[in-house]
Amino acid sequence: MNDIPILLVDDELRLLKASQLLLASRGFRNVFAISNSTDVMDYLQSNEVAVIVLDLYMPKLSGIDLLPEIVNEYPFIPVIVMTAVDETETAVSCMKRGAFDFLVKPVETERLVATIRRAIEHRAICRELDTLRERFFSEKLDHAEAFSPIVSTSNKMHTLFKYMEVIAPSRQPILICGETGVGKELVAKALHTLSGCTGDFVAVNVAGLDDTVFADTLFGHKKGAFTGAERPREGLVAKAASGTLFLDEIGDLNDSSQIKLLRLLQEKEYYPVGSDDPCISSARVLLATNHDLQKLIDEKRFRKDLYYRLCTHRLVIPPLRERTEDVAPLLNHFLEEAANSFGKKKPTPRRNWLPCYRPTHFPAMSVNLRQWFMMPLPGIIPEYCPWRASAMPLVLPGCKKQLQCKRVPESILWKSCSAISRQLTKLRII
């Protein structure tokens, strides 16, 4: 954010210089100034500008006349109007003409900096939305290889992938929602691949971490910060510099940890344990939860301000029961994976084996399928396969009893549902 170009327009040279120095002290390195308002449109034609801070009353061409020209020609550049005249009518007129915000001189430093940061974020979101509209007219994925670890052929997931391609380069936090086992970390890794980040992908599950452990894990500590801290240690935020930090299960964070996370997301800075000096974070943050955060807010267990900060981009991964077309490729994928893990040849199931599987018996997605193929491998371990009734995804027509925990002969595994039902009845398993 600090490298984004900012343009100051004011006829007072002394004020321009002071504003440049002020913004530079807050980390804004590309701040340019123009004292002649008639030069602004020519400058915009040949230079990239993210935010304009415009004085209202200037000779030759006033800001109130220049404002609509800028808005019409460059609608994605937020214009912050500043003036020494505190008049409601003037403020309303500027906002109607397309100003992003209206500030009265002298402006408090913190308010000016905060307004510029909001304007930068607003510009980024507007550009992403515009790109999103264009991208959704195309059905083809631009970077299909980034999604190769995610086994899916469903239209719902394809739509999700297209949205991911658009938001992946964004520096805004991305919230990934979904039930346990739907593959939230796989989605996070795909976002990291698509983002072009040069740093590492660093993942951590924050469920169950108290505030002290959370702060030490993410932010590190100084030597002597607490008993046993014999040497300084950098946290995961530092390890994810110029990369991606993935925080899983954020719905389980306590209030103190939520405050620290909010500061990291909002100010891009953090304090190592035992340090009074803030560190700047260059990591892009992805977050995931299997909770309904809105419900947690109603129960006073999750901060509303943090929730709104997370919801700039929100991905909801549908469970397997809502995309039945993925059952076959997932079963085939995990069967091959299980065979490879046991050093066995992948068996070829009969054509009618798939009707035995109903996605309603898999509450989430891949984790249930993978576990089943590993307990141990049906059709590969000879003679017997000890299936448990609670783990069986088989639905036998007309069978009202649960399967008992007995051994099932391997010879019946790949037969149709009716055939399995008949043979299990003979074996007195049902």
Under 8 Å between Cβ of 331 and 305: no
Same domain, yes or no, for 240 and 155? yes
Is 29 part of any domain?
yes
Whole-number Å distance between alpha carbons of 66 and 147: 46
Whole-number Å distance between alpha carbons of 349 and 378: 11
Q: Give the residue, 366 or 128, on which the prediction is more confident.
A: 128
What's the average model confidence in pLDDT over 257-277? 93
pLDDT at 251 over 90: yes
pLDDT value of residue 429? 41
Q: How many domains does the structure of the chain reveal?
A: 3
- Beta-carbon contacts of 267 under 8 Å, excluding residues fewer than 6 positions away, are none
Whole-number Å distance between alpha carbons of 198 and 283: 10
> Locate tokens 């309904």: which residue?
292
Same domain, yes or no, for 72 and 108? yes
pLDDT at 364 over 70: no
Q: Which two tokens stand for residue 245?
A: 């930090």
Q: Which two tokens stand for residue 61?
A: 């061409």
Is 1 part of any domain?
no
Same domain, yes or no, for 223 and 200? yes
Q: Give the residue, 365 or 93, on which the prediction is more confident.
A: 93
CATH number of domain containing 267: 3.40.50.300
pLDDT at 368 over 80: no
pLDDT value of residue 378? 46
Last residue of a domain, one of 282, 302, 318: 318
Under 8 Å between Cβ of 204 and 248: yes
Q: Give the residue, 138 or 262, on which the prediction is more confident.
A: 262
pTM (global) more than 0.75 = no
Dump pLDDT digits (tens) for 139-195: 688 889 999 999 998 889 999 998 999 899 988 999 999 998 889 999 999 999 999
CA angle 42, 43, 44 (to 5 degrees): 90
| Greatest mean pLDDT range, 80-89, 127-136, 181-190 | 181-190
pLDDT value of residue 414? 45
CATH number of domain containing 13: 3.40.50.2300
Write the DSSP assignment of 127-138 as a string of letters: HHHHHHHHHTT-
Same domain, yes or no, for 391 and 418? yes
Nearest to 378 by CA among 400, 356, 402: 356
Q: pLDDT tier at 86 (50, 70, 90 boundaries)?
A: confident
Q: Report the relative pairing of strands 220-221 and 233-234 from DSSP bridges.
A: antiparallel
Distances (CA, A) of 394 to 275, 317, 399: 57, 25, 11
Beta-strand runs (E) in 201-272: 201-205, 220-221, 233-234, 244-248, 269-270
Mean pLDDT, the chain, as a whole number? Answer: 82
pLDDT value of residue 236? 97
Same domain, yes or no, for 85 and 14? yes
Domain span at residue 30? 6-133
Same domain, yes or no, for 94 and 165? no
